[in-house]
Amino acid sequence: MSPTIHVLVADDDPEMRAVLADAIASDTALKLVGLARDAREAIAMARVEAPDVVLLDVKMPGGGGGEAAREIHRMAPSTAIVALTAHEDETSVGEMLAAGARSYLVKGASPQEILSALRGSVLGRSVLSGSIAHHVVAELSTRQTEQRDEKRRRRWHARIAAILAGGEGLSIAFQPIVSLRSGEVVALEALARFRSRPVHGPDVWFAQAAALGLGIELELLAIRAAIAHLPRIPADLSLAVNVSPDTVLSGRLGPTFETAPLGRIVLEITEHAHIADYAKLRDALADLRHSGVLVAIDDAGAGYASLRHILQLAPDSIKLDISLTRDIHTVRSQRALAAALVAFAGETGASIVAEGIETAEELITLRDLGVELGQGYYLGRPEPLPDEPGLFDVASVVFEIALSPLEDALGDAPARKPVLTTVASPRSRPPTADLRMALGSTGAHE
């Protein structure tokens, strides 16, 4: 013979309590051990009676069925909870599901359905009224999504924390910034690279770090890793590093650059970065700029934000976004916008650097528009510094760019790819001088 199932009922409607009591009394497998009028009374009775199953009204005084279910589940995890509700909304169903209810019945269900749910609940079975089944499915789907997101968040946190702890998995590649007139390299941009499986780009790594509250720490680690290479880079080349407004505002850049030659550092602030208070950002940059650090606005032309950044921060350099550079020789509107930015830069003492140059046609068009500097796969891919430090100890590093063959490339002649070479011949003016003239080192830093 099966043991008797002890049932506690909680409902603020006296008529409903009476109906439920009569139904339970008619089933020999069930025994009513209490009738509660609100959530607080249900919790107190459950503590004393230790029922096998509790039938709870979702909406009742004293905290509601959700509060009663959570507390009863905390006191006695093995006690089954059946929700009885006149409310079919997703919020009510979701609350009871999260609180530990196993079955969900709508008031108006037949006595047989209620009694079956009470008996089945102690065996681990669930009963759903058809009208609320879709809410339960939606809630379960939401919880599964949340669980997946939480697992993903923990994985990312572990990956980033491991890099922050030991620097393993982070490396720096360097892409040359080249004079489009002379072909000389005038600076290198430091670009973070992360080793992981699956492979994710640096934008994903930094976005995940920011979402986890670790964005500033990861940026500073990448910057420290980049400037650690400065002794191996010719002293007349500047080094550009990417930085977010949050990192600038953190006040931690100064200590990071404490031993670095500030006159060789260019801070690139992306167009995509949100800036809530330009005055605070200008103040945070002021000491660095007065010490010789240059400021560039990255990704200009990608959106309206870049124009605000340029107007508010008075950068030394404006970097044209790859979306503006790509196929600029064929798109009149891109040429018009680039020409406008070149004219603006001329009026403000800033320089223009074109990013993403990948063809001879793009290079020639940009040069003819008055763009002084450029970078991109056509001029040099991001690469680690060579293993042999002497490779960068020579007097100059130049790209062999024969302008006439490049111009011929606009016709039928194939373009000759520039070749990165090193020469030991002296120069009349070092590339850094070219860069600082192009970047407007005497321009306003206010």
pLDDT value, residue 434: 43
Nearest to 306 by CA among 335, 279, 332, 269: 269
Q: Virtual CA dihedral for 313, 317, 321, 322, nearest 10 degrees? A: -170
DSSP conformation class of 128 = B
Per-residue pLDDT of the chain (446 residues; tens, 9 = 90+): 568 999 999 999 999 899 999 999 999 999 999 999 999 999 999 999 999 999 988 888 988 888 898 899 889 888 988 888 776 556 666 777 777 777 777 777 788 888 888 888 888 776 655 445 455 555 555 666 777 888 889 999 999 999 999 867 899 999 999 999 888 899 999 999 998 877 889 999 999 999 999 999 999 999 999 999 999 898 889 999 999 999 999 999 999 998 899 999 999 997 667 788 999 999 999 999 999 999 999 888 776 666 788 889 999 999 999 999 999 999 999 999 999 999 999 999 999 999 999 999 999 999 999 999 999 999 988 999 876 544 443 333 334 443 444 444 444 433 433 333 333 223 333 333 444 444 443 333 33
Omega before residue 198 within 30° of 0, cis? yes
| Sequence ranges of the chain with CATH classification 3.40.50.2300 | 5-141
For 59-107, where are the E strands, in sequence order? Answer: 80-85, 103-106
Is residue 70 a contact partner of residue 100, using CB atoms and an 8 Å limit? yes
The β-bridge relationship of strands 396-400 and 373-374 is: unpaired
- The residue type at 432: T
* Three-state DSSP class for residue 67: helix
CATH number for the domain running over 167-438: 3.20.20.450
Is residue 354 a contact partner of residue 383, using CB atoms and an 8 Å limit? no
The CA distance from 347 to 336, in Å, is 17
Judged on CB neighbours under 10 Å (0-12, 13-18, 19+), 237 is buried
The CA distance from 304 to 126, in Å, is 55
pLDDT value, residue 296: 95
**Predicted TM-score (pTM) above 0.75:** no
The CA distance from 3 to 122, in Å, is 11
The β-bridge relationship of strands 351-354 and 317-320 is: parallel
pLDDT value, residue 370: 95
Tell the CATH superfamily of the 5-141 domain: Response regulator (3.40.50.2300)
Tokens of 260: 């670095």
Compute the residue count for the chain: 446
pLDDT value, residue 293: 96
